[in-house]
Structure 1
Amino acid sequence: MPDGASTSNLGPRAPLRVADIREGGTDSRGAQVTHIYALRTGEYAVYHAGDVFVEFADDPEVERDQRKRILALGEARSELAALLVGWRPQRRRIYDCKTAMALQMALDQDDVGARKVIEGARTDALREREVAGRLQYLACALASFALLFALLQLAAWLWPTPDGIANDLWMAAEAGLAGAAFSIVLAIRSRMVALDTQILGNASDGLLRLLLGAASGALLLLAFGAGIVPRMAFGEATLARDAMAWQGVLILGFIAGFLERLVPDLLDKASPQKAMGTPGTAPS
């Protein structure tokens, strides 16, 4: 019987033998056999019928021993199967071949080699999913950037702000959005993101970072206007609100969006510190 075999709704099927597994035929589940990877008459057949399956030995004693050997690959095999969900047959073909090879090696009592093959296949599939996840994350982030930028443009047109510092808030928010997007692009290679099987996680994480970047740009400009952050020094250059043109607003917003911890750290330093005691002489 193949691993995962079941009986028909019309009643129990006649016992299937290894010799009955043929390309174009059906297995005990009624699935069509499309390819046979390995066949030993009376001992086993490793074949493809939508997935990779095994028809175990006709001898019940040998079958029990074979099942134990296949069971040792169960964890890695199930993880690999989960990683392959959603892939087209052409894309997953190499992994089906590796799975079949691992099963054949296990049936031939090469347990160590079988485990290496199936674990290697799992690692390769995981790496592919991670690369696809980064591309998916980047695509979602760029789509979110375009949407948020359009919304900020629309908001600036619908709700123009008064003269003064508030007049630059929309500009600072847009610059913060661009800074966050730039940060995402630079960090995408080293950043841990979800696999491409979790598109909602990648989309929400990218959207949240962009929203924080836009908010940070506007908030830092407000902090400058309120005097909470009077000036910022960059080497020999100093950025101060009393001499800030539109270029300074863009730079300020971009930096706030690019450096995720900048605004929280500045606000934390600017917040009043609770007195912990009065100065005095150190105890002797």
Structure 2
Amino acid sequence: MTDDMPPAPTADHFPLKDLKTGAPDKRGRMVTDVLWAVRDFKIYKTDKGISPQFSDTPDEACKQRQAYMSLGPELAELGQQIDLLKNGWARWITWIWRRLGARDDPQLAYCERETARGIAQALDGDPDAGRQTLAELSRRISKRLGNMLRVLYFTICAIAAFEITIGLAIYTSRLEAPETATVLGLNIFQLSVAAVMGCLGALLSTAIGLRNLAIDPAATLTMNITYAVQRMLVGTLGAMVLHITLKSGIAGALLGTAASNSGGEDMIYKLSFVSLLAGFSERLVPNLLEKSAEKYGDASDATKPAPSSAPPATPAAAP
């Protein structure tokens, strides 16, 4: 006689009482901390992340397993964010905390405890409350990562601006006559002033808009460095282009006739202000170039009116 009934769930071969800090779990990973422990389940931490140990009762363990699996999307998002806190550039913050005597970053420990609480709520029969807890924690971590990356972004911008300023200052100081020296027909001293002030204008713009700066928490350190240096270079090159445009007389109306003169005590201050403005506004120089291209492009493309296609008039007959 064949028994067609499905087999009853069997008890877990790894008893709940055997899960302890400093001992391996059922998969052989060392348990570093037990974050949540009640009669029917435990939630613990290993070097691979946070995991639950279900009840020794087969039916109860089956329900807990289903509730835990329903948290999949929330746990995946949290796992990525906590990994960024642990292994991203933020690990330097953890290093500082350890040098100050703390065991770990307290914010990271809080995130792990809240993750365990969300899982515990689901295993205890309220998965909706667990999802809400995990979603709120995810928002808080995302906000923290954004603030940390904004600080990193501004720090890189400041370092880039400092290096550009010091580099140009050293370069011009080594010239015998920087006020008269030229490169490609351009005055080196004026070009250096424009570059430095454009870079400082870009740094000022970044500092003012830092709080509202959109940050991708998943961006790598290399990407953040690239974006920060790019912003400083845009300000520097924009100021240099604007200086060349003003010296050419194309955009002389912005500074008046004094912009085209190489003399004058206040010329360097006007150059500094306009260069600072060019670096501060990312769209100033592109808009100026677009208007200049439209103006001179239209002038060069203008053509004479086409001859009339009407038939020539027939001369009137003589009376």
Q: TM-score, normalised by structure 2?
A: 0.74
Question: Which segments of 5 or more consecutive residues in structure 2 lack a partner in the other structure?
Answer: 1-11, 95-103, 306-319
Which residue type is aligned with residue 27 of structure 1? D
Q: Measure how far apart 1:200 and its partner are.
A: 1.6
Q: Say whether 1:94 aligns with 2:114.
A: no
| Structure 2 residue matching 1:54: 3-state secondary structure | strand
Task: Output one character per residue of 1:56-95: Cα deviation in whole Å (capped at 9) or x when no partner.
Answer: 1224443333222111111111211211122544331111
Tell me which moved more, 237-246 or 258-267. Answer: 237-246
Percent identity of the aligned residues? 22
2:162 matched to 1:140? no
Tell me the equivalent position of 1:44: 41
Counterpart among 195, 207, 215 of residue 229 in structure 2: 207
SS in 2 for 1:231: helix
Instruction: Tell me which residue corresponds to 1:22.
Output: 20
Counterparts of residues 31-70 of structure 1 (less than 5 Å)? 31-41=29-39, 43-50=40-47, 51-70=49-68
Which one is further off, 216-225 or 153-162?
Answer: 153-162
Partner of 1:32, secondary structure, is: coil
- Corresponding residue SS for 1:224: helix
8 A contact 1:193–1:202 mirrored in 2: no
Question: Which of 219, 232, 239 does residue 241 from structure 2 map onto?
Answer: 219
More deviation in 165-174 or 27-36?
27-36
Equivalent position SS for 2:31: coil
User: 1:189 is matched with which residue: 203, 211, 230?
Assistant: 211
Structure having the higher Rg: 2
Q: Please tell me the residue identity of whatever aligns with 2:121.
A: M
Work out the CA distance in 2 between the residues paired with 1:196 and 1:135: 15
Q: Distance in 2 between matches of 1:278 and 1:182?
A: 49
1:47 CA displacement = 2.2
1:138-169 CA distances to partner (integer Å, 9 max, x unpaired)?
11111111112222223434565339962411
Structure 1: distance between partners of 2:239 and 2:36: 62
Q: State how far apart, in whole Å, the 2-side matches of 1:196 and 1:231 are.
A: 45
Please identify, of 156-165 and 174-183, the stretch whose mean Cα deviation from structure 2 is larger. Answer: 156-165
Q: So what's the TM-score if we normalise by structure 1?
A: 0.82
Change (3 A) 1:231 1:67: same
Query: After superposition, what is the alpha-carbon deviation per residue over 1:82-136, rounded to whole angstroms, capped at 9, x for unaligned?
Result: 1112254433111111111111111111011000011111111111100101101
Match of 1:249 among 249, 253, 271: 271
The 1:17–1:145 alpha-carbon spacing in structure 2 relative to 1, beyond 3 Å, is same
- Are the structure 2 counterparts of residues 40 and 245 from structure 1 closer, same or farther at C-alpha, using a change threshold of 3 Å? closer
CA deviation profile, 1:191-244 (whole Å, cap 9, x unmatched): 1133386222221111111111111111111111111112216xxx98643366
CA distance 1:37–1:216, change in 2 (3 Å):
closer
Is the contact made by 2:118 and 2:129 (CA closer than 8 Å) also made in structure 1? yes
Larger deviation: 63-72 or 126-135?
A: 63-72
- Deviation, 1:181, is 0.9
Residue type of the partner of 1:241?
A: S
Which of the numbers 171, 174, 177 marks the counterpart of 2:196?
A: 174
